[in-house]
Amino acid sequence: MAESTSNSSSTVFLYRFIKDPNLFCTSPFVNKIEALMVFSGIKDLQFRAGNPLQAPRRMLPFIELNGQQIPDSELIYETLIERGIVQCLDEKAGLDDRERAISTSIRSFVERELYELIVYERWIVNYQQTKEAFLVDVPAFLRSPVAYFFVWRPNTQRFWLSGLSRLTDQERARDTKRFVVSVSTLVPQKGYIMGKSEPTRVDATIWGFLTGVYRAPQLCPKIAAEVHSYPHLAEYHRLLSLKFWPERKPIV
């Protein structure tokens, strides 16, 4: 997908931590929205390096569509659906109300429970390595203040209020193991999570989470070790990646 300078109505610009279109990203939410758009059939998807300081809500990812910047992976996808640019994957796959409720619950679990452990291990335990990996396209003199004021400090406060930072290392390790076991149980040996012929929204979420872990295991080694203990997760990720991103080098 070659980069374009045109803002035509068919072009979606995705701002992420890595500009190179041949590389998967380190962010689960960037990977999630990219997967949602690719699974939904968007053809003209272009990549740009994003600076959190210049991003709406000061967070990545966001997209630019017809000159409008739209933040947040869920808001992005809902906007694309509302504007008729894509059909909702769950609707296209024919999920009934119960299946949609299950999908929503799984996505919420991954994005709120498991993701919090990823952020903690990356931005608290392995702060220096994560800063350099995520902010590689931010000018060097800005990386430390951006990481401190917009990531480390608010996350430190949030983890204290939520209680995550008050847990012992052993308690966090217990939760990590329990949550990864749950994901491994949900991912089938073959096919997609909801048992349909095509991927749905929950596949985008879990594929995005796995991509972030496989792309940079050194940033969250404890979670990565748990994920790597389930070979079928790597096979699930590999098959999805080969089908929808054949031009990219596999990461597992």
One-character DSSP codes across 84-106: TSS--HHHHHT--HHHHHHHHHH
pLDDT given at position 1: 40
pLDDT above 60: residue 5: no
Span 125-154, mean pLDDT?
Answer: 88
- Supply the mean pLDDT for the chain: 92
pLDDT above 90: residue 3: no
32-41, 143-152, 198-207, 242-251: least confidently modelled range: 143-152
In the chain, where are the structural domains located? 12-90, 94-244
Span 35-40, mean pLDDT?
Answer: 98
pLDDT above 90: residue 142: no
pLDDT given at position 10: 73
pLDDT above 60: residue 67: yes
Span 237-248, mean pLDDT?
Answer: 96
pLDDT above 70: residue 9: no
Over residues 82-100, the pLDDT tens digits come to 999 999 999 999 999 999 9
3-7, 74-78, 125-129, 176-180: least confidently modelled range: 3-7
Give yes or no for a contact between 233 and 227, defined as CB atoms under 8 angstroms apart: yes
Can the peptide bond before residue 71 be classed as cis, meaning omega within 30 degrees of 0? no
The SS3 assignment for 163 reads coil
Over residues 182-235, the pLDDT tens digits come to 999 999 999 999 999 999 999 999 999 999 999 999 999 999 999 999 999 999
Who contacts 66 (Cβ-Cβ below 8 Å, separation ≥6)? 7, 9
Tokens 């800063």 correspond to 131
Span 2-16, mean pLDDT?
Answer: 64
Alpha helices in 135-168 (DSSP H): 140-147, 153-162
- Tell me the one-letter amino acid at 179: F
Q: Which fold has domain 12-90?
A: Glutaredoxin (3.40.30)
The answer regarding whether domain 94-244 maps to CATH 1.10.10 reads: no
pLDDT given at position 2: 35
pLDDT given at position 146: 84
Q: What percent of the chain has pLDDT over 70?
A: 96
Q: What's the whole-model pTM score?
A: 0.91
> CA 205, 207, 209, 210: dihedral to nearest 10 degrees?
160
